[in-house]
Every structure is written in structure tokens, then in C-alpha cells.
Amino acid sequence: MQSPTILSCENGWLKIAGAGVFSTARTFDCGQCFRFGPMPAHLPPPPASDAVWGIAYDRQVAFADDGVYLYVYADKEAFESIWLQYLSLDADYAYADERLVHALSGPSQAHMQAALEAARGIRILRQDPWETLCSFIISQNNNIPRIRKIIEALCRQYGQEIPGGYAFPTPNALAGAGQDAIFACGAGFRAAYIWEAAEKIAGGAFSLAAVQQAQSYEEANQLLCSLRGVGPKVSACTLLFGFGRIEAFPIDVWMQRVIDRRFGGKLDPTVFGDWAGLAQQYLFYYERYASHSS
């Protein structure tokens, strides 16, 4: 596996070689995160047309790619300490892709191969656990535009102002804001869940570190599901995108449709081993955007 290397920096954009197959468009349009969108006017134009800008880990950042090179709007120190890991550039996705295809056989293998080819370049983002937990609590019975709107309202009201926007509010900030204030940001019935989680974390009754340090997926899942409003799907998404548990396989309406239509109603995610979450993203993306078969 080749290591990512910074080749140059021009107008604040780092040019990265050796990042493997990486698709900015696919990675940031497959339901993993909710704070990225089109490039703003206040930043230098990206060196490639596929570009996104957003806020993560309390700072603004932008990513772009031209199919050969990855471009990151950040300084070298931030890339090496935050964004390299955030984009999973230290993981061997070529090996993962081979594992996923060979985990199945027959028509199931053919469908997995088609999904992989259509969605290749997606990377599992390693996001902040607290932000990820809140984001997927908000995602319940919701759509992406509204999820984005609620998160943005919470950040503007209770997040720290930073260059380019606002950081995601801390557990202390949301615990102090209160349930009614979170409700006023459009969270609806989810306000109670967010506030209770924030209060428990701020007060020490619940530990995100304990989830991170759990010895097994089952233990981590059990801990998260002890929070009110966190069920199997929210827990799986949080573990996959916020805690680096790539074996997580969230099942929502889209994924149940995939299992029913493409796998005869039977698919055991454990066949994909430690890369089940990547298989889920490929299958989700293919079903939603690329597959035109009945």
C-alpha cells in the first residue's frame, strides 16, 4: 500500500499523491456526514471540479480530486494529524475491495462486484463521535435537507464561532441549552434524546470513551443503545462513522430493499468480516444512484 505524499501547496490547497482510489463526490454524498456542501466564495477555487467544503473537528476544510490526485484545503500539520485519518487514507481499500467481492458467490458476488465498481472511491470517514451520535439521532424519520438544517441551527446557536462558520456544540453546551432550546432548532421529538445524551455525557453518567474502548462490537452497541432514542440503526451508524467500527452494517429502508431485491431477503453481513460497513456503503450507493435494473 502506497502512503499519501504531499507534492505541493498552491493557494492553500495541498496536492496529495498516493491516496489510492478516492472519490470526493461519492464519499460526501452517501449519507455519512451532513456538514459538507459546495465550495464557498471566500476560499480559493479548488484545483478540480469535484470539490466539497465543510466543517469538522472544529475547523473548516475542503477536499477535491481529479481522479488522479487528492487536494485538501488545509495546512500540512492538520492534514497529517487530522485529515489523513479522517479520510481513512491510512487504510488499505484495495485489499478491502478484494475481500468484499470474494466474500460472496454466484449472483450475489456479481451484484457486489457491480456495486463496488459503481461506488469505488467511497471512504468511510472517521468523524467526531459526539457529533456523529447527535447527527444520527437527528436522522431518525428525517430527510437529508432537514437534517442539515437542524444541525446548522444547533451549531449557529450553541457552537463556538470559528473561521468559516461554527463548530459543532459540545455536550456541555447542549446540556446547558436545555431540551426546549434544542426543540426550537427544529429537532422535534429528537430534542429530548439529544438533550438527555448531552446531559449524561456532560455529567459523567455516560462515557463516549467507554464506547471507543469497548472490547467487542456487541459491547459498544449495547452501551450506545442504553441511551434513550438510540436503537440498532442509529447505533450502527454511530459506530461505523464515529467510532471506526467498520464491521458495523446499518440497515435502514434502503438497505432492507437491497437485501430483499438483490439477495433474496437473506444477507449475513458477517460474511464481509471487518469490512461490512464498507460493503454497506457500496451497496447503498449502487442502489440509490447507479443501479437501473429491476
pLDDT tens profile 134-180: 999 999 999 999 999 999 999 999 999 999 999 999 999 999 999 99
Tens of pLDDT, residues 35-66: 999 999 999 999 999 999 999 999 999 999 99
- Residue 180 domain boundaries: 129-242
CA 132/CA 287 separation, integer angstroms: 24
pLDDT value of position 292? 56
Tens of pLDDT, residues 182-233: 999 999 999 999 999 999 999 999 999 999 999 999 999 999 999 999 999 9
pLDDT value of position 30? 86
Same domain assignment for residues 46 and 76:
yes
pLDDT value of position 293? 47
Same domain assignment for residues 79 and 179:
no
Same domain assignment for residues 117 and 222:
no
pLDDT value of position 294? 40
For the chain, the domain total comes to 3
Q: Starting at the earlier edge strand, list the strands of the sheet with 13-17.
A: 5-10, 13-17, 70-73, 59-65, 50-56, 36-37
Tens of pLDDT, residues 1-35: 778 999 999 999 999 999 999 999 999 998 999 99
pTM across the whole model: 0.95
Same domain assignment for residues 107 and 31:
no
- Percent of the residues in the chain that have a pLDDT greater than 70, as a whole number: 98
Same domain assignment for residues 237 and 281:
no
Same domain assignment for residues 253 and 237:
no
pLDDT of residue 80 exceeding 70, the answer is yes
Same domain assignment for residues 69 and 147:
no
Which residues are paired to 32 by β-bridges?
none
CB atoms within 10 A of CB 128: 18
Nearest to 179 by CA among 169, 167, 194, 168: 194
CATH code of residue 232: 1.10.340.30
Same domain assignment for residues 233 and 254:
no
**Annotated catalytic residue within 149, 200, 233, 266:** 233
Same domain assignment for residues 21 and 113:
no
Please say if 200 is a catalytic residue.
Answer: no
246: its cell numbers: 467498520
Same domain assignment for residues 114 and 186:
no
Same domain assignment for residues 111 and 75:
no
Q: Give 253's pLDDT tier (boundaries 50, 70, 90).
A: confident
